[in-house]
Amino acid sequence: MKPQDIHSVIAVLREEYKTWQTPAVTIVAQCNGSPFKVLISCIISLRTKDDVTAQASARIFARAETPEEMVLLSVEEISGLIYPAGFYRTKAAQIAVLSQELVGKYHGIVPDSIDELLRFKGVGRKTANLVVTLGFGKPGICVDTHVHRICNRLGYISTKTPDDTEKVLRNVLPAEYWIEINDLLVAFGQNHCHPVSPRCSTCRVADICGRIGVTVSR
């Protein structure tokens, strides 16, 4: 894939995106989701299927929509609300501590910078970038397993880790695509460009995709 082909890829994925299921955290952000809600949904979503994330987010936000309300819940209550999200007990403890820190140190306001968000235990670059982009509408590139895999599969970049992918994309990806790249590639990865046996035969960008690492496809 040539670097300039990214414009064609984005154009196609924007069209296809309309037919795919929107990622759960994005739905939270679109439904008048505050940065706090985006942050909590991000935590719930780690190693958890989207439908479970959506349901767990809805349950917990029905009880607590702000850090001030969240600190009134016990870890056990939070655990019950986000179950069966992956590692729900660990996440419940993290949400409780994070909410306490937001109330005690930040006056209940979620920071809008990646560096500041990374100060919270359990918040990595993926979550921090997603909060900054979806919660605040500020420039950032959220790289999860789908973004990392697909950018390398296309042959757009060549990196070993998601963190490396973010660094490289900040240098090569046009700024106009920074915020939406995660949504587009997550939906693409979940619905079409699967980790194993992607649907190459019906893919509209197959002619420009490098298919790096693809040994079996449909």
d(CA 158, CA 19): 29
Buried b (16+ CB within 10 A) or exposed e, 169-191: beeebeeebbbebbbbbbbbbee
Which residues, in sequence order, are CB contacts of 129 under 8 Å at separation 6+? 114, 140, 141, 142, 143, 166, 182
Rounded Cα distance between 80 and 147, Å, is 31
The verdict on whether 144 is a catalytic residue reads yes
Residue 105 is among the residues annotated as catalytic for this protein: no
Rounded to whole angstroms, how far apart are CA atoms 121 and 111? 14
Secondary structure, 3-state, 141-170: CCCCHHHHHHHHHHCCCCCCCHHHHHHHHH
Instruction: State the catalytic residue, choosing from 37, 50, 91, 144.
Output: 144
Active-site residue identified among 50, 91, 126, 183: 126
Q: How far apart are alpha carbons 58 and 54 in whole angstroms?
A: 6
Residues annotated catalytic, as ranges:
126, 144
